[in-house]
A and B are shown apart, each in its own frame.
Chain A
Amino acid sequence: GAGVSQSPSNKVTEKGKDVELRCDPISGHTALYWYRQSLGQGLEFLIYFQGNSAPDKSGLPSDRFSAERTGGSVSTLTIQRTQQEDSAVYLCASSLGFDWKETQYFGPGTRLLVL
């Protein structure tokens, strides 16, 4: 079946612009996660959704970052007023349920470059 998909695959933007990254999870997966992969910080967890709800937003790097999920499916991660330090690969993952034993399945990522 179809895996996790993300769009765009690459995004180049100018400092100060807003960007929206999209994630389409595996059908039927109720849990959705966002991570960031950068050279300096490795893989960092950002936020998760159980259904449409994000109980804990403390992993988001700053208040310029926000995320939403609608219809228990597609999620968007929005970065406002982008900065050069936001340059990274943004990964989305989904799992069947929200449980520490569940396997998370990752999408190919969106590579963001802020000039």
Chain B
Amino acid sequence: GDSVTQMEGPVTLSEEAFLTINCTYTATGYPSLFWYVQYPGEGLQLLLKATKADDKGSNKGFEATYRKETTSFHLEKGSVQVSDSAVYFCALSGRGADGLTFGKGTHLIIQP
């Protein structure tokens, strides 16, 4: 079946550091890929998405590119802020699948 693998962390960075959170997937065909974020005490929010190969999703300074050849969708940000501290989930939606398949989540901590 479909699966998503991501580093679980916690990942601790200093403010203004460069961020990469790796995400790789296994799926039949060409799924849609998503990054969701869960801020402390809040619900899941869509951060960005890409629905076909080579698409780049971007939002709030975060970017991720759908790489079919490496089955990856790594999340990047050039300069993180304390307010980016949250749990980040990579997810996929496959054709014919009923719901989203999520990774375990990466806990990101940004220190001032």
Residue of A nearest to B42 (CB): A108
Q: How far is the CA of A55 from the CA of B96 in the complex (A)?
A: 12
A91-B43 contact, Cβ under 8 Å, with A100-B31, A100-B32, A103-B34: yes
Residues of A contacting B105 in the complex (Cβ-Cβ under 8 angstroms): 42-43
Residue of A nearest to B103 (CB): A42
Category for how many chain B residues contact A: 20 to 34
B91 to chain A, nearest CB (A): 8
Q: How far is the CA of A43 from the CA of B95 in the complex (A)?
A: 19
Q: Contact at B100–A104, with CB atoms within 8 Å?
A: yes
Is B93 positioned at the interface, with any CB of A under 8 Å from its CB? yes
Residues of A contacting B42 in the complex (Cβ-Cβ under 8 angstroms): 108
Is B99 positioned at the interface, with any CB of A under 8 Å from its CB? yes
Q: Contact at B32–A59, with CB atoms within 8 Å?
A: no
Chain A 78-115: CB-based contact to B (< 8 A → 1; otherwise 0):
00000000000001010000001111111111000000
Q: How far is the CA of A107 from the CA of B38 in the complex (A)?
A: 12
Q: How far is the CA of A109 from the CA of B45 in the complex (A)?
A: 12
Q: Contact at B32–A101, with CB atoms within 8 Å?
A: yes
Report which B residues bind A (CB closer than 8 A).
31-32, 34, 36, 42-46, 49, 51, 89, 91, 93-105
